Structure 1
């Protein structure tokens, strides 16, 4: 009987050893948790629980063997032995045998101490076992195994191992997401992470802003930069969204760089800006006039400076100051020609009873006038008229001398008057002397006489 029990124990030990080797060779993966052979992972309790092989394995034990489930395995035991109750026989108290001293030395050996009676079925020694993911410590407690530290995890190289109580999880670092078991980069730029400019990089992204904006502390949004704070403009600056604009004061224009202001040459715009000459100044312009003129109130026109009225002339007291456009002249006292006598300040007369005056004009009247250079034509410039009327008398008006260039002609306007007309423009400065003759004709008494107006014309240098 002892041989049979030992055979059973040996058979059971062999099966347990085979099961242990099989357990060590086969590890079942789980969802973040792996269990050894003989255990299954329970998602609800999140623990490894024992598998009852006697129920799940068909014909776990053959013949007359009975299957007995164990923690992490099972045993096959003969049914007769499994059903035999356990009645241990208690040994009788040992009776010491002492040799008879009187009989001398005995050849009889002392009997061996009685052995304890073995149980009728094999003993199953149960040792404390930790759940998968834990290891038995020296003090008998179960400590968590850090699979990430011991590199016993099954995360692929693109994943990151995160240790948990009793197991581990495979995750992705920030900026990656798990697709098909692989960690792939997230393109944050596709999802509008940046307000303006976005650059995707592996595992992250970078935001930037357009010119005229600065990145806010949140590293995503952009804020307008007030460029005018840096005073980029020569004159005035106006901030705009994302940029700025420069403007210039009156009389200046914006340079090609968009920030500097350069003087505007107003004189180059038109030759009619000033009546005489335009002088450009910084941010403006001024008009000047030639000598003999001054700038009028409008700042552009030239007005004649009357030297005779202001006394700013060089005429003597005996002379008469005559002002014309842009200048003046000093007229000497009247000196009548031979045979003529002075009858007034500006008139000489030749007496009719004087035979030397018979073929000469009866009177010579001296007149002076000024004329602007280049004056438009035709234009009336002087009028001549008879002062007395006689019955049967008519008058003829004509230019007797001084019209060699044919710039003038006389147009009779009535029986007693005529007008001097300028027909061609005259460029000054120039002095012209015209003798305008009025012929008096009286057919009744057969009389013919003439009077002369000696007209001196001072043509100015300028057309104003």
Structure 2
């Protein structure tokens, strides 16, 4: 307890003294502690003997001197006050906080804080040779003695008795911790190993100065593998939306045809190709592309953009009944002279020149219309011994001996026939107009059937039909004498009548 009395007395004296003496007492409290040298002191000529008083004095000395000397200093977050160096030093959170970083993250201490970085990207700072991770500051050994002694001033009324001597600690230029150097003002300043080129980073790494040290890191686009910086293949991690090309320390994104690279240099946006009018007719934009369309009657060419006319006439020979003419985007049907295009736009219909008056027949002639044309029939002239019975019939009188072996009547008839008409075809019919009891009738082609294109088929006792047996091509005019023979055995009579049939075969099959 004697030591506590000495310290307490020293503190009281210091408080009464000048600021220099107060600093000295704080030095005694802060650095000597229980190892303070043994000093002899009496207070007011009396010695302290009460144990209770001694304990109170010891507590007072501890609060006034020791606590105030350290706790009165405030440091910013991430730093703590060091009593010996009387400076704010960095707190190594990676050592004091085991759970600072979680998972696959590595804790890296920084000046005033710490960082959590992935293990794969961690670049271990190079430690200086023979240097621990943390070195306590070096200070003079105060336990071996003191540089000098001095006598404090004597209090009034204390007499001339010499007072106790107090140590004065002369602090020499204390060395700084590793990574720092002593500045001109006596403070420790950080050594920039990167600028001084005293680091041990290899050529593929970049030196980063830290408080009291340095670290070796890789530049952007590289990571540390086995002590070497290797290029990161960013394309493996899907940095680009579409196409990716890995480059040393970087990468480049590009887009497929039909897309443009956005300003972020990673994503792609669709190009509206239709805005540049690439198509001849219509354009439909699609994601990453476009489609051209053509108007009716056109088709897309092999280049995918040009529209070319469709030759509809080449599709079929039956598109038009006569002639097909291709037009841009469509087609047109035409008909030969004597016909006109029907309402359906494809069929040909006969133009009746006789009804329309579009003919050259005289008033004495009769206009006869047939498929694709017309003819002017002259007035009937009956050659002797025939006489005119009507405008289309000649008769040979039975009283005239010259008519005995001749047909009794000749009836003139006309008809038209399409070229190439399918066969067999019934084209004309004959019938007896007068019936005699006991008589029968025979129908036959008397003349004009040299090519055997026709034949007669009897349909009843008094009628028969003219049949087209072979296709006939026009234009052609065929005159047939169709004979009807009347036989009556009761009265022993045999006579005949003729229909002179003129057939106008058209040039076309319609």
TM-score normalised by the chain length of structure 1:
0.75
1:212 shift after superposition: 1.1
**1:240-279 mapped onto 2 (5 Å cutoff):** 240-279=286-325
Check the 8 A contact 1:176/1:186 in 2, yes or no: yes
| C-alpha distance in 1 between matches for 2:307 and 2:148 | 120
Q: 1:425 aligns with which of 466, 471, 489?
A: 471
Structure 1 residue 238 and structure 2 residue 284: aligned?
A: yes
Stretch deviating more after TM superposition (130-139 or 146-155)? 130-139
Q: Which string of whole-angstrom CA distances, capped at 9 and with x for unpartnered residues, describes residues 167-188 of structure 1? A: 2221111111122222221111
1:423 shift after superposition: 0.2
1:383 shift after superposition: 0.3
Check the 8 A contact 2:137/2:176 in 1, yes or no: no
| C-alpha distance in 2 between matches for 1:405 and 1:216 | 87
| C-alpha distance in 2 between matches for 1:33 and 1:339 | 146
Structure 1 residue 459 and structure 2 residue 500: aligned?
A: no
**1:279-294 mapped onto 2 (5 Å cutoff):** 279-294=325-340
- Judged with a 3 Å threshold, the aligned counterparts in structure 2 of structure 1 residues 401 and 168 are, in CA distance, closer, same or farther, namely same
Report the equivalent of 1:434: 480
1:245 shift after superposition: 1.2
SS in 2 for 1:246: strand
- Judged with a 3 Å threshold, the aligned counterparts in structure 2 of structure 1 residues 125 and 285 are, in CA distance, closer, same or farther, namely closer
SS in 2 for 1:308: helix
Check the 8 A contact 2:483/2:496 in 1, yes or no: yes
Stretch deviating more after TM superposition (174-183 or 404-413)? 174-183
Q: 1:334 aligns with which of 380, 405, 420?
A: 380
Check the 8 A contact 1:40/1:49 in 2, yes or no: no
Q: Which string of whole-angstrom CA distances, capped at 9 and with x for unpartnered residues, describes residues 266-289 of structure 1? A: 111111111111100000001100
SS in 1 for 2:402: helix
Check the 8 A contact 1:136/1:143 in 2, yes or no: yes
Check the 8 A contact 2:321/2:346 in 1, yes or no: yes
Check the 8 A contact 2:456/2:464 in 1, yes or no: yes
| C-alpha distance in 2 between matches for 1:237 and 1:214 | 19
1:323 shift after superposition: 0.2
| C-alpha distance in 2 between matches for 1:272 and 1:415 | 44
- Judged with a 3 Å threshold, the aligned counterparts in structure 2 of structure 1 residues 356 and 129 are, in CA distance, closer, same or farther, namely same
Structure 1 residue 346 and structure 2 residue 392: aligned?
A: yes
1:230 shift after superposition: 1.4
| C-alpha distance in 2 between matches for 1:374 and 1:275 | 14
Structure 1 residue 49 and structure 2 residue 136: aligned?
A: yes
- Judged with a 3 Å threshold, the aligned counterparts in structure 2 of structure 1 residues 33 and 463 are, in CA distance, closer, same or farther, namely closer
Check the 8 A contact 1:342/1:349 in 2, yes or no: yes
Q: Which string of whole-angstrom CA distances, capped at 9 and with x for unpartnered residues, describes residues 375-404 of structure 1? A: 111110000011011111111111110000
1:130 shift after superposition: 2.7
Unaligned runs of 5+ in 2: 1-108, 110-123, 152-168
1:435 shift after superposition: 0.5
Report the equivalent of 1:306: 352
Report the equivalent of 1:159: 205
Unaligned runs of 5+ in 1: 1-29, 43-47, 52-69, 75-81, 91-122
TM-score normalised by the chain length of structure 2:
0.69
| C-alpha distance in 1 between matches for 2:200 and 2:129 | 15
1:34 shift after superposition: 5.6
Structure 1 residue 131 and structure 2 residue 177: aligned?
A: yes
Aligned residues: 371
Report the equivalent of 1:119: none
| C-alpha distance in 1 between matches for 2:359 and 2:149 | 165
Report the equivalent of 1:117: none
Report the equivalent of 1:222: 268
Q: Alignment RMSD, CA only?
A: 2.6
- Judged with a 3 Å threshold, the aligned counterparts in structure 2 of structure 1 residues 158 and 352 are, in CA distance, closer, same or farther, namely same
Stretch deviating more after TM superposition (395-404 or 222-231)? 222-231
1:86 shift after superposition: 9.4
Q: 1:325 aligns with which of 343, 366, 371?
A: 371
- Judged with a 3 Å threshold, the aligned counterparts in structure 2 of structure 1 residues 35 and 457 are, in CA distance, closer, same or farther, namely closer
1:87 shift after superposition: 9.7
SS in 2 for 1:435: strand
SS in 2 for 1:373: coil
**1:169-248 mapped onto 2 (5 Å cutoff):** 169-248=215-294
Report the equivalent of 1:383: 429
